[in-house]
Amino acid sequence: MAHDISWKSESFFKDVVARDLTLEGCDSFTIARFNIGKANEKTAGYMSFIYRVSIEVQHGNKDQPPAALTYIVKEKTDQAFGGDLCDILAVFPKEIEMYEKILPAFERLFVDGEPVRFGPKMFKSISAPFTVIVMEDLNRSQYRMREKSFGLPMADVKNILRKLAQFHAASVVYRDTNGAYSDLFSEGVISERTVDALGRHYEFLYSAFVQSLQERNLPKKYLEPLIALDKRLLKACCKAQVVDASEFNVLNHGDVWPNNVMFAPDDLLFLDFQTTSYGSFAVDILYFFITSATEVICDSFEELVQFYYQHLASALQQLRYEKPIPLYTELLQQLKRRGVLMLPPLSEAVAITMTGLTEVSQMEMITSDQPEGVELRALVYNNPSYVSLVDRLIPKLFELGFLDGSNM
């Protein structure tokens, strides 16, 4: 019976183990130990539950020692924060296609030089009667997340930009060869279809963000364009994300920040391809800068854009891209025209992360009109570290032309 089936069983992982160990049909093994635990401190991720499955395998050939294996499992659920968006955004079909088809194809493009990897391997996926993805546990290969969820150092920022440039270049060459991406990748998190669902959360927090700036008497020349976006921020972001075929467009990861990057001593890989979408490269760059390199970009914004551009051009040349490589000045203007895309993560993700909120109950409470919600927002937007960062960053973004009122 369908209701008796569960992924939380040894039998479900038999073919996973066989594929992982590249065992042939005649190779026998038994699962001697099976355990399901948390993948990290929190079982609940954004829009899914995440587990680490530990398995001890005994080989039929007694001469072989037991193998200790671990896997990461992502399970679809409406109980995680953002779980109600799973179907609207088609996050699991999108991520399955990325792991199963697109990432391997991107990696195969790099036939010259050192092999390039972009993410973990997927060993198994199933969409009925439950939806799960079973992936490689990168900890087995000595990949680790950074301890901080914001404010990465310059070395990490540049290494991520280098890998992101390769990912973007591969996406362009792949599309030129194989045609347009499927409709799954036609929109990211913020789109006309999600404005109503996201409005309560993002618009509410942006209003609180703007109010905090008013209370600190931010200069009028900065404050007025930001106030003008109150209650219409997501609509402005939708407009900024409309694909212009004359510009440089890529397949964006959609959520590059420290918790979605794992580092090895000489490499890094991306996680969570749930919000991947096709459009301007600016979507990834601006989101990454704000969520991960906020302190660094205050002094080195253009240096980092130039660094990304150099590695993008190099990757396109390596992949024998046949069209003209866009000019640096063209890409810089493309970024500036979409500066408004920095405001949702700045007023939401950065503020929440710097305050250390992680519980689902806190994420739900932060938009509440109850006294507890008001108190929580005051804690978030009056956090001294966040206030210091924002008061330094906002003038810089205006000075560079990223928050010019005409662009919003």
pLDDT in tens, 110-156: 988 889 999 999 999 999 899 999 999 999 999 999 988 888 999 99
- Residue 329 located in a structural domain: yes
Q: Are 185 and 320 members of one domain?
A: yes
Whichever domain contains 45, its CATH number is 3.10.450
Q: Are 116 and 192 members of one domain?
A: yes
Q: Are 184 and 73 members of one domain?
A: no
Does the pTM surpass 0.75? The reply is yes
pLDDT in tens, 367-405: 999 999 999 999 999 999 999 999 999 999 999 999 976
Read off the tokens for 360: 């689902």
**Cα separation, 287 vs 11, whole angstroms:** 41
- Residue 89 located in a structural domain: no
Q: Are 342 and 277 members of one domain?
A: yes
pLDDT in tens, 163-200: 999 999 999 999 999 999 999 999 999 999 999 989 88
State the DSSP string of 99-133.
IIIIHHHHHHT--SSS----S--EEEEE-SSS-EE
Q: Are 106 and 184 members of one domain?
A: yes
The parent domain of residue 76 ranges over 10-80
Q: Are 68 and 159 members of one domain?
A: no
Number of neighbouring beta carbons within 10 Å of residue 142: 11
The per-residue pLDDT for 44 is 45
Domain count, the chain: 2
Instruction: Give per-residue burial for 27-63: e unless 16+ CB within 10 Å, then b.
Output: eebebeeeeeeebeeebbbbbbbbbbbebebbbeeee
- Residue 263 located in a structural domain: yes
